[in-house]
Amino acid sequence: MATKIKITQVKSGVGRPDTQRKTLEGLGLRGPHTTKTLEDTLSIRGMIRKVSHLITIEPAE
């Protein structure tokens, strides 16, 4: 079974480059204080790295 991670957006995407806003949208985050639980895959990790300054990550249960 694949590991899951919980991603929470803590800062807004307003004023950020378009690529970062689209990455947040691709992760399913719509605004500050929204949380998504996603599979821990290489593609998701790459997206997380791109917007790491706007989100927090923790293991899901």
pLDDT at 44: 97
| pLDDT tens digits, one per residue of 2-60 | 699 999 999 999 999 999 999 999 999 999 999 999 999 999 999 999 999 999 999 99
- Considering its fold, how many domains does the chain have in total? 1
Range of the domain at 8: 4-59
pLDDT at 61: 82
Q: How far apart are CA 22 and CA 28, in angstroms?
A: 10
Residue 18 dihedral angles phi and psi, to the nearest 5°: -55, -35
Task: Measure the CA dihedral 33/39/40/46, to 10°.
Answer: -70
Give the CATH number of the domain where residue 35 resides: 3.30.1390.20
Indicate the Cα dihedral angle 16, 25, 34, 61, nearest 10°.
-120
